Amino acid sequence: MFLFTLISAMLMTTDATTETRIEAKALPYAYDALAPAISEETLRYHHDKHYAGYVAKLNELIVETPYAGQALEEIVRTADGPIFNNAAQVWNHEFYFEELSPSAQHEPTGALAEAIDASFGSFDAMKSEMAKAAAALFGSGWVWLVEEASGKLSILPTHNADTPLRHGLKPLLCLDVWEHAYYIDYRNRRADAVAATWDLVDWKAVERRYRSR
Ligand code: MN
């Protein structure tokens, strides 16, 4: 009985500790699943070093702050400085990894396809506007397809960790244009990396985001 109590107490302590931590999510596919557009080496660095690094740093920073125990999205919406930077990078990367798939649906359908046509003229025009924004973004950042409050879709470039969640916009899709996302495979050719990403973007996942309220 004593042993049982002791083990229960240990388990409860473990639970209490993990509760306040942000857990790194596993990739939703194998490391080599997106090759050759995104190599296994790139994904190992991107997920295991960069993304997991932001998670570890965030957990260090939130110890004994009001953010410990908060949901990731809540931290992203309210924090500033290094806590915001690391939390937003965690959120942005999870959003990015989740929208890619080795068996992607290559085009939007239904209401999302209609909204893209209404906002940009065509799907190709949307992709080209997003690619142009990726090429024009100076330094590190992200390029987003977002839904405005009016229902109009638009392209939003953000610097560093900045994210549409802080601009009252609903994110639907992102491109990671930090050099770490493409330098192993494409060196300085960011435009080629963006072009190759289109084959992996799963519009089924983007449609789910668009439908969710
Ligand atoms: Mn990245």
In tens, the pLDDT along 66-110 reads 999 999 999 999 999 999 999 999 999 999 999 999 999 999 999
Model confidence at 213, pLDDT cuts 50, 70, 90, reads confident
Instruction: Give distance in angstroms: CA of 96 to centre of ligand 1.
Output: 8
Q: Which residues contact 177 (CB under 8 A, 6 or more apart)?
A: 134, 137, 140, 141, 142, 143, 190, 194
Instruction: Give distance in angstroms: CA of 15 to centre of ligand 1.
Output: 30
Q: In this structure, are residues 177 and 194 in contact, taking their beta carbons and an 8 Å threshold?
A: yes
80 within a domain of the structure (yes/no): no
Instruction: Give distance in angstroms: CA of 173 to centre of ligand 1.
Output: 14
52 within a domain of the structure (yes/no): no
83 within a domain of the structure (yes/no): no
132 within a domain of the structure (yes/no): yes
To the nearest whole number, what is the mean pLDDT of the chain?
A: 93
pLDDT digits (tens, 9 = 90+) for 127-186: 999 999 999 999 999 999 999 999 999 999 999 999 999 999 999 999 999 999 999 999
Q: In this structure, are residues 113 and 107 in contact, taking their beta carbons and an 8 Å threshold?
A: yes
199 within a domain of the structure (yes/no): yes
Instruction: Give distance in angstroms: CA of 79 to centre of ligand 1.
Output: 20
61 within a domain of the structure (yes/no): no
Domain range for 186 is 110-211
Instruction: Give distance in angstroms: CA of 37 to centre of ligand 1.
Output: 15
53 within a domain of the structure (yes/no): no
Instruction: Give distance in angstroms: CA of 110 to centre of ligand 1.
Output: 30
Q: Exposure of 80 by Cβ count < 10 A (0-12 exposed, 13-18 middle, 19+ buried)?
A: exposed
Q: Exposure of 27 by Cβ count < 10 A (0-12 exposed, 13-18 middle, 19+ buried)?
A: middle
CA separation for the pair 101, 105 (Å, rounded): 9
Model confidence at 208, pLDDT cuts 50, 70, 90, reads very high
Model confidence at 19, pLDDT cuts 50, 70, 90, reads low
Instruction: Give distance in angstroms: CA of 93 to centre of ligand 1.
Output: 6
135 within a domain of the structure (yes/no): yes
DSSP letter at 159 equals E
Instruction: Give distance in angstroms: CA of 161 to centre of ligand 1.
Output: 10
Instruction: Give distance in angstroms: CA of 94 to centre of ligand 1.
Output: 10
Instruction: Give distance in angstroms: CA of 210 to centre of ligand 1.
Output: 23
Angle between helices 81-99 and 52-62 (to 10 degrees): 150
DSSP letter at 27 equals P
Say which CATH number the domain at 190 has: 3.55.40.20
CA-CA distances (angstroms) from residue 82 to 23, 46, 92? Answer: 18, 20, 15
Q: In this structure, are residues 154 and 115 in contact, taking their beta carbons and an 8 Å threshold?
A: no
Instruction: Give distance in angstroms: CA of 114 to centre of ligand 1.
Output: 30
Instruction: Give distance in angstroms: CA of 142 to centre of ligand 1.
Output: 9
Instruction: Give distance in angstroms: CA of 182 to centre of ligand 1.
Output: 9
Has this prediction a pTM greater than 0.85? yes
**Domains contained in the chain, number:** 1
